[in-house]
Amino acid sequence: MKKALILAWTSWILCIFLNWYLEGGLRPAFQSNSFHIFTMLTLMTSVAAFARIQQEKQQARASTV
């Protein structure tokens, strides 16, 4: 799950640079549709990964008791 989290945030950062290059500046890059789509995907992946990591920690604690 940590790999998925790292991949999501890395792709989000790459999306910013790609949009910056294609749109011709930082302001238009943040206003593009692809930036908003990647932002939502990154946030959803992050929430799912954090939830999974917390669940694994709880299962590890329960198995040691």
- The alpha carbon of 56 is separated from its chain's Cα centroid by a whole number of angstroms, namely 20
Q: If you average pLDDT over residues 1-30, what whole number do you get?
A: 80
Residue 26, SS3 per DSSP: helix
Close Cβ partners of 37 (under 8 Å, ≥ 6 residues apart): none
Q: Are 26 and 49 a contacting pair, CB within 8 Å?
A: no
Residues 20-56: pLDDT tens digits? 888 777 777 778 887 888 888 888 888 888 888 899 8
pTM assigned to the model: 0.66
User: Residue 40 has which token pair?
Assistant: 């939502």
> pLDDT value at position 35?
80
User: What pLDDT score was predicted for residue 38?
Assistant: 82
Confidence at residue 63, expressed as pLDDT on a 0 to 100 scale: 85
Cβ-contact 1, 52 below 8 angstroms: yes
pLDDT in the model for residue 58: 93
